[in-house]
């Protein structure tokens, strides 16, 4: 009944539009109007049918606006995942699946609700992750570089933060008795994950080695220490990511043969083990695979001294690291045992790093893995009681241009269409008589070609150079290729434009439209009623 009703409605609306658009004011009113029956509305195509289904799906979300309807919340953050990154990743994933790519949909693009987030910090048009993530998890915008404090705090000034401390959604969830988790492919002490659990006027105070004398004198502690000594509820239940070096002394060598960063002599990993005697600490794929989600409630995974590997490089990692989708599945298996629900933040941190390096292949491969992690969540939870939000903290100066023909490899040289609209066989040349790629960067390190055998983060390796290069015989689709950049900088920069918000589940419709980034917290709070439940539990 519903489908036929929607179809009749679409016919009526379309008929009215046709009459309004193509009516002739000078036409004799006595002339008969063509009968609607001359159009065979039964011959709809896939575009029309998909549009009908989208209307139905969107209508269903209207029934899930009640405050506190979300038992669970999952916040997915693609660090640096600009709208152009989403578009390119969609095409990239589709082409990996044998399609032309443009028609493909990433898992979160199927969500019934979409909107935009304004990403500026209170002191910068183009933001950083510290200020943007603080806004998302605390409901208050703040300065670039500042974590967990309001905008009156000064960056790297501990004393200025007094009275400016913010409460985060993960802290509220812990107070409300929910299980909690923080996952990232970056260092777990990096700005985005750190904003969920710490207060620091300087994002670079990841361990005590960077703390200033002023910070120590005024009682500020480093981010790693705040994670292990997290005092809300019974502590964060699942923590997985990189950044092992910030948790043990410089005199200690870890499993990778790398020394720690701490100067205070503390081994925070040992302290975590002593605090959670029934918890499990893991540092590689083998240990991760051995985790029995049914019997364990506390997991601390640090899989790399610094950031975890890019997805394309994980196969070359000797110790082995779990993928983001594997970490997501394991975390959900652990957290979902709590009858009061859970809050989970999942960050794909290396999308951002690939952009800074000007290396689109690694960016898109990590975005595709991020998409897999989101699909894992969709498949694992009850969407009638789980709010899933997918967004980014900021964008990057990553562009798509050049009029490539449909299905042209997204990382390839541009081949356009002829005057009849048919694909050309040869790549098109610019005014400098050289070919160019569809994707590129406004600024950054610029062109480099490391070939298909390249591994690891090459962003500070030579040779790199901004400007235009002859690419006819270069393997521009390989993961070792770094795109050209116009303005030469030591690292490609963030961008200031809005980023997408994609949502499904209770409260999702609160995120339609264009929002201040801080509104994401308030939508989560309404959906899960975190403040009221936290207060009731105290």
Structural domains in the chain, CATH included, are: 69-399+494-537 (3.40.720.10)
Report which of residues 419 and 3 the model is more confident about: 419
Task: Identify the pLDDT of residue 46.
Answer: 64
**Rounded to an integer, what distance in angstroms lies between the CA atom of residue 192 and that of residue 78?**
10
Q: pTM of whole model > 0.95?
A: no
Active-site residue, selected from the candidate residues 129, 325, 495, 518: 129
Q: Determine the average pLDDT of the residues in 185-207.
A: 98
Least confident of 13-27, 192-206, 214-228, 344-358: 13-27
Helix axes 83-96, 360-380, angle to 10 degrees: 80
Average pLDDT, the chain: 90
Q: What is the pLDDT of residues 473-494, one digit of tens each?
A: 999 999 999 999 999 999 999 9
Largest CA distance in the chain: 95
Task: Identify the pLDDT of residue 327.
Answer: 98
Structure tokens at 181: 């988790």
Check whether 245 has a pLDDT greater than 80.
Answer: yes
Q: What is the pLDDT of residues 18-47, one digit of tens each?
A: 333 334 444 444 455 444 444 454 445 665
Q: What is the pLDDT of residues 436-464, one digit of tens each?
A: 999 999 999 999 998 765 444 444 455 78
Q: Determine the average pLDDT of the residues in 166-177.
A: 98
Burial of 59-97, coded b for 16+ CB within 10 Å and e otherwise, reads: eebeebeeeebbbbbbbbbbbbbbbbbbbbbbbbbbbee
Annotation says 129 is catalytic: yes
Q: How confident is the model at residue 3 (pLDDT cuts 50, 70, 90)?
A: very low
């Amino acid at each position: 009944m519903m489908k036929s009703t929607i179809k009749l409605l679409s016919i009526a609306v379309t008929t009215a539009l046709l009459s309004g658009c193509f009516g002739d004011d000078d036409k004799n009113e006595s002339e008969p109007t063509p009968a609607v029956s001359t159009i065979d509305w039964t011959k709809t195509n896939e575009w029309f049918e998909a549009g009908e289904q989208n209307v139905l799906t969107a209508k269903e979300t209207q029934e899930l606006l009640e405050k506190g309807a979300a038992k669970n919340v999952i916040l997915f953050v693609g660090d640096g995942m600009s709208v152009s990154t989403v578009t390119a990743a969609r095409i990239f994933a589709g082409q990996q699946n044998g399609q032309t790519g443009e028609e493909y949909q990433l898992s979160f693009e199927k969500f019934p609700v979409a909107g935009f987030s304004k990403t500026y910090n209170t002191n910068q048009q183009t933001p950083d992750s510290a200020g943007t993530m603080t806004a998302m998890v605390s409901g208050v915008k703040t300065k670039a570089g500042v974590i967990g404090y309001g905008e009156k705090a000064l960056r790297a000034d501990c004393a200025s933060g007094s009275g400016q401390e913010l409460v985060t959604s993960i802290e509220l969830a812990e107070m409300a008795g929910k299980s909690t988790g923080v996952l990232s492919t970056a260092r777990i002490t990096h700005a985005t994950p750190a904003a969920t659990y710490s207060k620091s006027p300087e994002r670079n105070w990841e361990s005590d080695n960077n703390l200033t004398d002023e910070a120590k004198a005024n009682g500020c502690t480093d981010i790693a220490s705040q994670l292990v000594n997290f005092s809300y509820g019974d502590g964060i239940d699942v923590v997985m990511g990189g950044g092992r070096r910030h948790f043990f002394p410089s005199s200690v060598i870890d499993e990778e043969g790398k020394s720690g960063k701490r100067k205070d002599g503390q081994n925070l990993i040992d302290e975590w083990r002593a605090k959670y005697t029934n918890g499990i600490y893991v540092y590689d794929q083998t240990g991760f695979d051995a985790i029995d989600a049914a019997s364990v409630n506390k997991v601390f995974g640090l899989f790399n001294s610094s950031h975890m590997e890019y997805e394309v490089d994980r196969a070359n990692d000797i110790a082995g690291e779990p993928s983001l989708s594997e970490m997501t599945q394991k975390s959900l298996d652990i957290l979902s045992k709590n009858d009061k629900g859970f809050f989970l933040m999942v960050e794909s941190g290396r999308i951002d790093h690939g952009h800074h390096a000007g290396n689109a292949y690694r960016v898109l491969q990590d975005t595709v893995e991020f998409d897999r992690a989101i699909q894992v969540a969709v498949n694992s939870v009850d969407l009638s009681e789980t709010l899933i939000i997918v967004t980014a903290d900021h964008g990057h100066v990553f562009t798509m241009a050049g009029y490539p023909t449909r299905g042209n490899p997204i990382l390839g040289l541009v081949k356009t269409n002829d005057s009849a609209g048919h694909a050309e066989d040869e790549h098109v040349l610019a005014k400098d008589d050289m070919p160019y790629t569809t994707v590129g960067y406004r600024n950054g390190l610029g062109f480099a070609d490391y070939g298909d055998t390249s591994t690891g983060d090459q962003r500070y390796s030579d040779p790199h150079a901004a400007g235009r290069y002859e690419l006819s015989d270069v393997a521009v689709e390989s993961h070792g290729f770094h795109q050209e950049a116009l303005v030469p900088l030591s690292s490609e920069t963030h961008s200031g434009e809005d980023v997408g918000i994609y949502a499904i589940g209770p409260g999702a419709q609160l995120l339609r439209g264009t929002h201040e980034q801080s509104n994401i917290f308030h939508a989560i709070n309404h959906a899960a009623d975190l403040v009221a439940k936290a207060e009731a539990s105290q």
